[in-house]
């Protein structure tokens, strides 16, 4: 394997439950890495385009090239020009946007041979240019999430301190372990990151304790967590939508 490719780490943020801070975590982790001097590319693998919107894309449906276009070209065996469709953000990260077209791609992939490798082929083509590639997935365990896991080195699981989030964690872990066994043997856990934590309540503390006791032996539960904060939510909002 190319030495430069060895140095590129692919991290996927995944959780089938929505509104757990997945996009916020992915974007801010990428920007944080960029501020330390790392070369970072973010990939929006969610047809809702939440990452793209948070990075300032006002009308993602009007973009000529998004992840949907890239994946369609790979399926059709077409060559990809270097840097095709990648945008640059003033915070120092590059990113590949997404829009609703990605939903159609997910449906079309059902009949594609070796479909789980399509996104991995694209990510592999970027590895010589970046030290970190972060992929934000949709809130489901559908085809595109499996694609992302098939391309990943590690999975970072943002987990809100609520019972429903905890309830779905076991299913997510089972899915990740299946992908590791059947598709991507190198896949590992980056860890569980608790989000929207209100340390003033016993409820949040109880959930954090349950996560540590039930999953901490198998998966690293990160010591740092994201507190419940309006400011934290605002970090993923494009400034146009914020009050003056």
Per-residue confidence (pLDDT) for residue 238, from 0 to 100:
45
pLDDT at 231: 56
Phi-psi region at 197: left, alpha or beta (left = phi > 0; alpha = psi -120 to 50): beta
- Give me the pLDDT at residue 143, please: 86
Distance CA 49, CA 68 (A): 11
Q: Torsion angle, CA of 20/130/32/161, rounded to 10 degrees?
A: 20
Q: What is the pLDDT of residue 98?
A: 95
Residue 76 phi/psi, 5-degree rounding, is: -85, 0
Range 16-19 contact pairs with CB under 8 angstroms and sequence separation of 24 or more? 16/139, 16/140, 16/141, 16/145, 16/168, 16/171, 16/172, 17/139, 17/160, 17/164, 17/165, 17/168, 18/139, 19/139, 19/160
Question: Would you say residue 244 lies in a domain?
Answer: no
Residue with tokens 């299946």, as numbered in its chain:
178
Tally the domains of the chain.
1
- Within-domain flag for 87: yes
Q: What pLDDT is recorded for position 1?
A: 43
Measured distance CA(175)–CA(42) in Å, rounded: 23
End-to-end CA distance of the chain: 51
Cα dihedral across residues 217, 208, 163, 187: positive or negative? negative
User: CATH number of the domain that 165 lies in?
Assistant: 3.40.50.300
Cβ atoms 60, 51 nearer than 8 A: no
**pLDDT for res 244:** 38
Question: What is the C-alpha separation between 40 and 184, in angstroms, rounded?
Answer: 22
243 lies in some domain: no
Q: What is the pTM of this model?
A: 0.87
Residues facing 193 on adjacent strands: 158
Is 91 among the domain residues? Answer: yes
pLDDT value of residue 113: 63
pLDDT the model gives residue 3: 46
> Could you list the residue range(s) of the whole structural domain that residue 168 is in?
3-238
Tell me, yes or no, whether 174 lies in a domain.
yes
Query: Checking DSSP bridges between strand 40-45 and strand 154-160, what pairing results, if any?
Result: unpaired
Report how far residue 230's alpha carbon sits from residue 116's, in angstroms, rounded to the nearest whole number: 38
d(CA 106, CA 146): 11
What are the mean pLDDT values of the chain's consecutive 10-residue runs (244 residues total)?
A: 66 86 92 97 94 90 91 90 94 95 82 79 95 94 91 94 78 93 95 85 84 86 79 49 42
Residue 234 has a pLDDT of 55
Dihedral angle at the C-alpha atoms of 78, 82, 87, 88, nearest 10 degrees?
170
């Amino acid at each position: 394997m190319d030495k430069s490719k060895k140095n590129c780490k692919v991290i996927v943020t995944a959780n089938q439950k929505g509104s757990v801070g997945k996009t916020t975590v992915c974007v801010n982790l990428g920007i944080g890495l960029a501020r330390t001097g790392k070369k970072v590319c973010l990939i929006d693998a969610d047809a809702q385009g939440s990452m793209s919107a948070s990075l300032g894309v006002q009308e993602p449906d009007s973009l000529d090239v998004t992840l949907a276009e890239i994946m369609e070209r790979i399926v059709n065996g077409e060559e990809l020009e270097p840097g095709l469709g990648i945008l640059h953000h003033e915070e120092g990260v590059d990113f590949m946007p997404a829009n609703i077209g990605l939903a159609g791609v997910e449906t079309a992939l059902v009949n594609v041979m070796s479909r789980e490798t399509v996104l991995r082929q694209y990510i592999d083509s970027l590895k010589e240019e970046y030290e970190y590639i972060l992929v934000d997935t949709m809130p489901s365990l559908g085809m595109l999430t499996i694609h992302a896991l098939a391309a990943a080195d590690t999975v970072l699981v943002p987990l809100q301190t609520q019972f429903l989030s905890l309830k779905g964690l076991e299913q997510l872990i089972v899915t990740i372990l299946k992908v590791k066994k059947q598709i991507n043997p190198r896949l590992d856990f980056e860890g569980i990151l608790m989000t929207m934590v209100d340390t003033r309540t016993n409820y949040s503390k109880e959930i954090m304790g349950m996560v540590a006791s039930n999953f901490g032996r198998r998966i690293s539960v990160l010591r740092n967590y994201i507190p419940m904060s309006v400011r934290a939510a605002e970090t993923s909002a494009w400034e146009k939508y914020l009050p003056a």
